[in-house]
Amino acid sequence: MSTKPLLWLQHYTRTRDDHWKEKHTAPYARFPDKPYFPRLFELMASETHLFLPKSREMMLSWALIGYAVHLCQWTPNTQVIVQSEQEKKSVDLVVGRGKPGYARVLWEQQDEFLKRLHPLTKDIGKMPEDLLSWENNSTIQAVPSGPEQFRQPHPALVILDEAAFLTGAAASYDAALPVASQIIVVSSAGPSWMGEIVSNILNAH
């Protein structure tokens, strides 16, 4: 099961490449084959609380949203919440404003038979910019910062994106802890609550 989201990402859909013109390549490309991806997806499939440091070229945000989209498509009644510091960033990870968001791209760029297998509740062009919803009652919701975003829903997955720069990240994590089945915290480097946790984990090993 742990390898299925990665298999789907690498062989049955495409990601958005914002630098395709400079590289003279196609605007959408298959998910790359990096040596750390199998272990990453094993951890996402097995760990209920996961902290992931990242750098820009690692494509961890695409990996996490790919994991979330796969979870929603193959598991009915799955709710995912994606939180970033700014609403614009959260929206860009879901349906998007202007250019297509990550989750939208992954749904649109997957093979046609998979789009038919996993239909949305409405045409992709009519989806709200912050919500992607499937007919199987699964959703990915983009939310801005703030622990109050987790007081009502009971999500299967919460993603805290760029947590080192997320106002009240610790409070958001604490608010999601009793209601979310899984929490994944990801960020590039920066002095923060997340940085302290990662440093403590590394020092303990």
Domain ranges of the chain: 4-204
Task: Report the pLDDT value the prediction gives residue 3, as an integer from 0 to 100.
Answer: 59
| pTM: predicted TM-score of the whole model, two decimal places | 0.92
Task: Report the pLDDT value the prediction gives residue 81, as an integer from 0 to 100.
Answer: 97
Give the total residue count for the chain: 205
CATH topology for the 4-204 domain: Rossmann fold (3.40.50)
Amino acid at 204: A
Kindly list the distances between the CA atom of residue 68 and the CA atoms of 17, 81, 133, 188, 191, in Å, as whole numbers in the listed order.
19, 9, 12, 20, 27
Please say whether the beta carbons of 68 and 62 come within 8 A.
no
- Which residue has 């604490």 as its token pair? 174
Kindly list the distances between the CA atom of residue 6 and the CA atoms of 31, 86, 130, in Å, as whole numbers in the listed order.
8, 28, 24
Cα angle: 114, vertex 115, 117; to 5 degrees: 60
Residue 139 CB coordination number (10 Å):
19
- Which segments in the chain show pLDDT lower than 50? 1-2
CA atoms within 13 A on the CB side of 38: 2
192-205 residue pLDDT tens: 788 787 777 777 76
Which tokens is 128 given?
């709200």
Task: Report the pLDDT value the prediction gives residue 1, as an integer from 0 to 100.
Answer: 43
